[in-house]
Amino acid sequence: MQQKGAALLVAAVTTAVTLTLVFYPDLAFRAALRGLEVWWFVVFPALLPFFIAGQILMALGVVHFIGVLLERFMRPLFNVPGVGAFVVAMGLASGYPIGAVLTARLRREGQLTVAEAERLMGFCNTAEPALSLQSLRRSQRSTRER
């Protein structure tokens, strides 16, 4: 009975959203453009440097070097190998997608077990300060322009 009620609720919400899009297409279009603008001018510039830096550092072997140095701290603190220190640092600095991408790459390369990768994902995927600061700066700039 509870499943049927949940399914009806989902169907009702989906129908309401669809009807809203049909009856107010101009508003939906402007909202979609605004979302794309935010992505292009705020999210993309905030994340791109971290994606590039993370991949370059991994390709150059810096992550392995950091892992060797920090193994004795990471294992007792978080129960992950030392290479997890790089993921934690990048995840805390840049936020959600970077931590997930780097953890997945280390898992594919066999440097993390499934349990270690899951544990690492639990504390390296946070709201990113870079995106928060950039969106705050952009909102202040747009407020001054009005």
**Whole-number pLDDT of residue 54:** 80
**Whole-number pLDDT of residue 16:** 94
Amino acid letter for position 21: L
What are the CA-CA distances from residue 36 to residues 13, 31, 42, 70, 92 (Å)? 24, 9, 10, 40, 25
What are the CA-CA distances from residue 15 to residues 18, 27, 111, 131 (Å)? 5, 17, 46, 33
81's tokens: 């190998």
**Whole-number pLDDT of residue 102:** 86
Q: In tens digits, what is the pLDDT along the chain, a chain of 146 residues?
A: 678 888 899 999 999 999 999 999 999 999 999 989 888 887 788 778 878 888 888 888 888 888 888 888 888 888 888 888 888 888 777 767 778 888 888 899 898 899 989 888 887 776 666 666 666 666 666 555 55
pTM of the model: 0.61
